[in-house]
Amino acid sequence: MNSIVGIGELLWDVYPDGRKVAGGAPFNFAFHCHQLGHPAVIVSRVGDDDLGRELREEVRRLGLSDEFIQTDHDHPTGTVRVSLDANRVPTYTIAEDVAWDHIAWNDQLRQLARHSRAVCYGTLAWRSHFEPLDRLITEHRQVTRPPCVVFDVNLRQHYYEEDILDAGAGRCTILKMSEEDYLELVARYPTRPTDPFGMARSLADQPEEDFIVILSMGARGCVVESAAARFTEPGIPARVVDTVGAGDAFTAAMVCLHLEGRPLRECARFANYYAAQVCEHQGATPRIDRAGVERAAFGSP
C-alpha cells in the first residue's frame, strides 16, 4: 500500500450559517497528499449516526478510502464550531469525548503502519493519550527506512499541556508549527528556549541529523531548519477567501515533495505556493491543480 497516513480527528466543521464541511487536520492533510498524487488514508473513527454516515460518504466523494475509519456505537461523530474573524481567520470549539477519541488498535492498523511511507498527527490526537497512535508510530519506525513521522503542532483550545507536546514531539522526525503556535508556546512555557528551533528541539529531543523543523508564517512564508541548513522561503501573495486548512495543505505539500526526494528549499517554495492557492478558495479541501502550482513556483519545464 505504501500510503501516507493521517491519524486523529475526523469531524464536521460547522459554520455560523449552519453549513458543515468535512474537516480535521489529519483528514485535510491526507486529502491534500492524495490530491498531490500520493496514496493517502485517514485513520479515525465516527459514530453510528447520521453524521458519521454522511462523513464517510463525503470522504469517499473527495476521493479517499474510508477503509480505516472505524465505527463507534457508543460515542457520537465529532463536530467543531468554527468562527471566522474579520480577516477570515478561524477559531474552533471542539466537542469532547467523541468517536475519534476512541480509535481502537487492531491488526488492520498494524499492517497499515508497516506499509506506510509517512505518519502525520497533531496535538489533538494525543488529548486522550490513546494507544493506537503510539503503536502505529512504533510499527512505522521499526519497518520504514528512513522513517517519516510528522508532528503538526496545531494548538487547539487547551489540548497542549506539556506532556501532550512532549509525547507528540518526542516521536517525530519532522516538527511543523505555525508562528501563532510558536508565540503561544513561548508565552505558556517560559522555561523553554525562545528561539523557535531551540524550542522545537527541546520538545522533540531528537538527534539533529534526523530532524527537520518548519516554522510557517502565513503570508510571510516559512523558515526551515535541518542538520544541513537553515533558510527562509518568502511568502506568496494571495486573494484570501478562507484560511481554513491552509496550514494542513502546506504540511501536506512539504511532506509530499520531501518524500519525492526534492531539496528542502524546493519543498518549502512549492508548499508556500500551494497553501496560497488553497487560501483563494472556500473550505479546507478545494481542488488544486498540482501542475499549475509547479509552473507558478518553478516556471515552465
Q: Domains along the chain?
A: 3-298 (3.40.1190.20)
Report the alpha-carbon distance of residue 241 to residue 88 in Å, rounded: 7
pTM of the model: 0.92
Residue 207 pLDDT level (bands cut at 50, 70, 90): low
pLDDT tens, residue by residue, 21-57: 899 999 999 999 999 999 999 999 999 999 999 999 9
Return phi, psi of residue 180, to 5°.
-65, -40
Burial of 89 (0-12, 13-18, 19+ CB in 10 A): middle
Q: What is the mean pLDDT of residues 257-273?
A: 97
Other beta carbons less than 10 A from residue 156's beta carbon: 19
**More confident of the two residues 32 and 245:** 32
What percentage of the chain exceeds 70 in pLDDT? 93
Task: Enumerate residues 6+ apart whose C-beta is below 8 A from 189.
Answer: 162, 199
Q: How confident is the model at residue 228 (pLDDT cuts 50, 70, 90)?
A: confident
Q: So what's the pLDDT on residue 113?
A: 95
Instruction: Look at residue 111 in the predicted model and tell me its pLDDT.
Output: 95
The answer to whether residues 64 and 48 touch, using CB atoms and an 8 Å cutoff, is no
Q: What value, to the nearest 5°, has the Cα angle with vertex 174 and ends 37 and 34?
A: 15
Residue 241 has pLDDT above 60, yes or no: yes
DSSP state of 152: E
DSSP 81: E
The residue to which cell 460547522 is assigned: 14
Question: Which one is predicted more confidently, 235 or 88?
Answer: 235
**pLDDT tens, residue by residue, 12-21:** 988 888 888 8
119-139 pLDDT tens trace: 999 988 888 767 899 999 999
Lowest pLDDT segment from 84-88, 210-214, 233-237: 84-88
